[in-house]
Structure 1
Amino acid sequence: MRKLQLFISIVFLVTAVGFFQNAYSQVVTTSSMYGTVTDDKGEALPGANIIALHVPSGTQYGTSTRADGKYNITGMRVGGPYKVTVSFVGYNSQSIENLYLELGQNLKVDFKLSESAIQLGDITVVAEKDAIIRSDRTGTSTTVRRESIETLPTISRRIEDLTRLTPQVGRNMTFAGMDNRFNNITVDGSYFNNSFGLAGLPGDRTGVAPISLDAVEQIQVNISPFDVRNGNFVGAGVNTVTKSGTNEYSASVYYNFRNNTFVGKNAGDVEFKSGTFKFGQFGMRLGAPLIQNKLFLFVNFEDDKLTQPGTTYIARPDTSTPVGGNVTRVLASDLDALSNYLKSNFGYDPGPYQGYDFETPSTRFLMKLDYNIDNKNKVSLRYTHLDSFTDLLVSNSSSLGFGSRRSSTQALNFANSNYKILKISVQSLVNGTQFLLIICQITFIVGYTL
């Protein structure tokens, strides 16, 4: 019966691989653990029972050692702390606590059990790791954990402020000298690239963050990974995992703001005019257990708005005023005459030509459900929504006049000749993991992006 179940599992796995090989490649969204269990003489202990407990959520992962005493646990939630316990008949059980797993990490944890005849109590070991020299890390990668996300300063509250910790990073989130459109950005294993193609980062069309930083658990930047599941990029693979609910209730409410009073007015002996702008952001999150150790909810909401000058250039009030700085060669009297002509003859109001503001509002929402069906089957459902727009100046095409239509001392345009860019992004995702026996794990990701 066991051989038949193993055969059916292998056939199912091969069929699934063949069916999905032309679809999206698998991206790492979890962590794993491996090691060896021996006795105090160094002899392997086959059949030892290993239980890894994710303490905050009560999620358990279990396996047993093979004939050579080695074991592997895959598909584990990132973060921690974890408590790993090993037991074997005739030997004292052993536990290791306060283990934390990084995204894509394969942590090595070895155990050495003593015979119970010695009458020793349970042994508890607190693990320590060297963050620089680690045998479990392969390839060039940088991982930003939750503690760093919560403490590092950020102005834009976008992941670009955190991926700068990668030594190979350049300007505008370029890696290893490659254009940022050659990166592959994923969230919970689902592609999250800019589908429009004119910008390399999600949310770049309106300059906003598609997902709140308060909803991010870990960020990993892969430059040259050895793991075949990480691919489809030339620059870097930026993999993000969102937070999940736990057995404890957690919530936060926050408000961020900044305006022109936060900006300096002098750069050395040169006076700097930043213009008048203001930014306000309100956000909240909630993590809760719907069923202890089984079903968890995480919700995040964020709303912000940026108001800033559409242009800092002004029209020349008269011919005696010199052109330079932010004063254009265009006379205010000429622009007023043109505006009055359009209003009186065509009923069209071109709007102001100076002193008007641009707005960039955005609203983002994330909801995530994690369900531990049993110790071998787990499923996660996530929904994200982004609604944003931004005002932009008229195209600065060089096909007419002096080769410029705005943003210089040679030209000044009316406000109603500008345009808006709309950004609405909706993504639904189902992420499931099934463990078949002790040698096989199947992970499936089904997503829909609008």
Structure 2
Amino acid sequence: MNHPRIRMSKLALGLVAALAAAPAFAQSTSAGVGGLVTNNGGSPVAGAEVTITHVESGTTSRATTDASGRYNARGLRVGGPYTITVTKPGEGTKTEEGVYLNLNQVNTVNAALAGDVTTLQSVEVVAAMVGGSDLFSANKMGTGSNVTREQMDALPSANRNIQDYIRLDPRISQVSKADGAISAGGQNTRYNAIRIDGIGAGDPFGLESNNLPTERQPVSMDAIQEINIDLANYDTTIYGGTGAVINAVTKSGTNEFHGTVYGSYRNKDDMVRRRLDTDKGDFNGFNDEKTYGMTFGGPIVKDKLFFFANYEKYERSAPGVALGDTPYGKGSINDADIKTVQDFMTGKGYDVGSLSAPDSKTEIEEYAVKLDWNINENHRAALRYNKMEQNVMRFPGMASGTVSLSSYWYAQPKTYETWMGELFSDWSDNFSTEFKVSYKDYNATRVPTVNLPQIRINGFGSSNSALLLGTEQNTHVNIVESKELSAFGSANWYIGDHTVKFGFDYSKNELMNFYGRNLNGVYTFNSLTDFLAGKVTQYQLRAPRPNGGSLSDIPASFTLKNTGLFVQDTWAINYNLNLMYGVRVDLPDFSNQKLYNPRIEQLYGYNNTVLPDSSLVQPRVGFNYTFDSDRPTQLRGGVGLFGGAAPNVWLAGAYQNTGLNYVEYDLRGNQAPGFNPALPPSTAGLTPGSGRMNVDIIEPGTRMPSVWKANLAFDHELPWYGITASAELLVTKVKDALYFERLDVMTP
């Protein structure tokens, strides 16, 4: 028999190891193993003791076969090598060495005791280069794959990001080479759920095109042990993604001290841009880019307590300001014009900066520490802390029709910090549990160079180019915060041919988005002459509502909760057929929108305090049929409903844009006030009735995104070089989707 992770000689036929991609606890950060023990005559062996030892850490778990000859173990470390020993007095002993267990999977090891003692040392560990997980198993039903540590070490990644490895699954496509954004099965890039050690590692608000909280994943790739990618996994713990659910687990310490020191460097001179004969330009993506870091792990108490730590820093230097294509580079705006503007603002007591800028520098720093504790043979715990900090300088306003001074630029620091604790317990041979609690704190705040209104001066040159200065209008106030508490608990109950799993997951995400566009005001002038004369062409301002409003009314502050309940049964009907069936219920809870706008209901018939509809019941079923054949052959498939989540930025508008908390002024010509850059801006003298209000409404009956997924696959191992041929059909049908409609745009 040939598999990507385990290759066995004919001597090993007494202990048939079919290491598999078995979706049995998909939100877990652990692995599992189970199987059937028979005697020399093929009858089940009850009461056989199974000892499962993680060689490098000495972590040991024990199980006993039931009356059907079956055993199960959950909550094991991901990876290996493991030694599995099966023994029963009078029946014999079998030992398997070099077994590796995959993340979020139950690997199958069936033993045939022959009345003697056999140690199988002819196991050769080989790394699968594509596909990421072993295919043949009674528990392999859905669509997905795993990427192991061996693969990550063997395969190149120029950007050292998690998307490069996720794309090893052929059903994942890269939709943006600039930021690595991926689509799974044709779904929106923001409909993927990405978790590391069970903690959400995706963009918590939905503004980032790469679906990550920063430019890179929150954990160094050198600290990741394995990645699990599920597109259609019928395990009922799966939630939160209608595209793919991607879960990675980090490394742990062992009984030996191990560490790495690494670094990478590249610069623009090494990049090849001339893909076409007509393209003679230079690469201008960055000047140079470097990554360096280290990992270190080992024992604190041998066989008992272990640590693993990592540190990484990424630095990228790019040209700060490219002026060639701007009006300055083209000569529409010259140094004399800029000096005139600078002197004028200096006379008013304001420094609006210049065109001089250092190289644009991006810095991302990440560090983490993890503790693993073997409490005893029945209980294992882990704690992990992780923090990532990013700082990027942005240079907006540099385009073919505009040029900006340094007062218009801004910094964009971000922080991502997590804490996690988990406990794995075997309470008896037929009952085990897993519990996890985590907390995540995310902050992204734009930091302006100065605190001024935005100033735009048009009318330069024949192309009517513009000079921009002051604080960019989207940076007057722009803060995103997310504080998320999550909990997960599951239990596995082994009853003969049935494995019953049940449990819950819970999340509470406190979000705040202060999008203060135009809070400082935006002044537009038709020409430099008008600017010097204080003649404003257009004035825009967002201000608290008149008669008692304040700035504290403007942010969208809301809490999103979800409670998931799940139960499922995996039934080994016979040696050939396995069936998994279950149901998941998600109970979302949205904090109330307290600002009711009766005028909107009068005009459009909608109550603006209505929130998305409640529970979603998700039935799922999967099967695997293993054929009696000389070479591994199986038919697998299933169908199920999968609920997802909308990017939170899509929901924030219902909390921020009520029509009651702020007003938008857009004044032109004679209605525009005189130029006054002092802050805070005053609304005194602004024309009554000129303020506009935006309102976002959620239609009654709106539900979060959900899709039906079904797959059918046939796998067969060919007689050449261990090659497996597979044919698979994956069908996705949208049940609930979201769309946006402008109610104020009427049919003519």
Could you say whether these structures have the same fold, taking a TM-score greater than 0.5 normalized by the shorter chain as the test? yes
Q: Equivalents in 2 of 1:37, 1:295: separation in Å?
A: 32
Indicate yes or no: 2:252 matched with 1:244: yes
Aligned to 2:55: 55
Q: Which amino acid aligns with 1:375?
A: E
> 149, 159, 175: which one pairs with 2:184?
175
Q: Equivalents in 2 of 1:105, 1:166: separation in Å?
A: 17
Aligned to 2:38: 38
Q: Equivalents in 2 of 1:291, 1:201: separation in Å?
A: 41
Aligned to 1:309: 319
Q: Which amino acid aligns with 2:44?
A: A
- Do the aligned residues in 2 keep the contact of 1:146 with 1:216 (CA within 8 Å)? yes
Indicate yes or no: 2:159 matched with 1:161: no
1:244-271 C-alpha deviation (Å, 9 max, x unpaired): 0011110111122121111236342421
1:101-151 C-alpha deviation (Å, 9 max, x unpaired): 111222111111122xxxx54342645799664124221112110011112
Aligned to 1:142: 145
1:357-392 C-alpha deviation (Å, 9 max, x unpaired): 211111110100000001110100000001111112
Q: Answer 1 or 2: higher relative contact order, Cα 8 Å, separation at least 6.
A: 1
> 223, 230, 233: which one pairs with 1:222?
230
Show the 5 A alignment for 1:430-449.
430-449=421-440
| Structure 1 pair 335–41 and aligned structure 2 pair: CA distance change class (3 A) | farther
Q: Which amino acid aligns with 1:213?
A: M
Show the 5 A alignment for 1:397-412.
405-407=397-399, 409-412=400-403
Q: Equivalents in 1 of 2:325, 2:208: separation in Å?
A: 32
| Structure 1 pair 162–315 and aligned structure 2 pair: CA distance change class (3 A) | closer
> 293, 296, 300: which one pairs with 1:290?
300
TM-score by length of 1: 0.83
Cα deviation, residue 191, structure 1: 2.1
SS in 2 for 1:266: coil
Aligned to 1:124: 120
Q: Equivalents in 1 of 2:340, 2:358: separation in Å?
A: 18
Aligned to 2:672: none
Aligned to 1:421: 412
Aligned to 1:258: 266
Cα deviation, residue 346, structure 1: 3.5
**Structure 1 ranges of 4+ moved more than 4 A:** 125-133, 200-204, 315-318
Q: Which amino acid aligns with 1:261?
A: D
Cα deviation, residue 417, structure 1: 0.4
Count, aligned residues: 402
Q: Equivalents in 1 of 2:158, 2:62: separation in Å?
A: 42
| Structure 1 pair 316–218 and aligned structure 2 pair: CA distance change class (3 A) | closer
Aligned to 2:87: 87
Aligned to 1:114: 114
Cα deviation, residue 393, structure 1: 2.7
Q: Which amino acid aligns with 2:91?
A: Y
Q: Which amino acid aligns with 1:293?
A: D
Q: Equivalents in 2 of 1:239, 1:39: separation in Å?
A: 38
Q: Which amino acid aligns with 1:306?
A: R
Q: Equivalents in 1 of 2:43, 2:274: separation in Å?
A: 72
Superposition CA RMSD, Å: 2.4
| Structure 1 pair 302–105 and aligned structure 2 pair: CA distance change class (3 A) | same
For structure 1, list consecutive stretches of 5 or more residues without a partner in the other structure: 1-24, 319-326, 395-404
SS in 1 for 2:403: coil
- Do the aligned residues in 1 keep the contact of 2:26 with 2:235 (CA within 8 Å)? no
Aligned to 1:371: 373
- Do the aligned residues in 1 keep the contact of 2:293 with 2:311 (CA within 8 Å)? yes
| Structure 1 pair 315–178 and aligned structure 2 pair: CA distance change class (3 A) | closer
Q: Which amino acid aligns with 1:443?
A: E
Q: Which amino acid aligns with 1:272?
A: G
For structure 2, list consecutive stretches of 5 or more residues without a partner in the other structure: 1-24, 176-180, 442-748
1:315-366 C-alpha deviation (Å, 9 max, x unpaired): 7799xxxxxxxx4463223553345424642454433436642111111101
Indicate yes or no: 2:239 matched with 1:231: yes
Q: Which amino acid aligns with 1:159?
A: I
| Structure 1 pair 78–269 and aligned structure 2 pair: CA distance change class (3 A) | same
1:66-120 C-alpha deviation (Å, 9 max, x unpaired): 00111111111111111100111123211011111111222111111122xxxx5
Cα deviation, residue 432, structure 1: 0.7
Instruction: Indicate the percent of aligned positions where both proteins have the same amino acid.
Output: 28
Q: Equivalents in 1 of 2:273, 2:436: separation in Å?
A: 51
Q: Equivalents in 2 of 1:182, 1:201: separation in Å?
A: 11
| Structure 1 pair 264–30 and aligned structure 2 pair: CA distance change class (3 A) | same
Q: Which amino acid aligns with 2:255?
A: N
Q: Equivalents in 2 of 1:202, 1:37: separation in Å?
A: 45
1:204-242 C-alpha deviation (Å, 9 max, x unpaired): 4x4233110010000111100021112221111010100
Aligned to 1:17: none
| Structure 1 pair 125–251 and aligned structure 2 pair: CA distance change class (3 A) | closer
- Do the aligned residues in 2 keep the contact of 1:430 with 1:447 (CA within 8 Å)? yes
| Structure 1 pair 201–379 and aligned structure 2 pair: CA distance change class (3 A) | farther
Aligned to 1:191: 200
Aligned to 2:282: 273
- Do the aligned residues in 2 keep the contact of 1:193 with 1:200 (CA within 8 Å)? no
- Do the aligned residues in 2 keep the contact of 1:315 with 1:329 (CA within 8 Å)? no
Q: Equivalents in 1 of 2:331, 2:171: separation in Å?
A: 44
Aligned to 1:337: 339
Q: Equivalents in 2 of 1:415, 1:226: separation in Å?
A: 53
> 341, 346, 362: which one pairs with 2:364?
362
Aligned to 1:382: 384
SS in 1 for 2:376: coil
SS in 1 for 2:335: helix
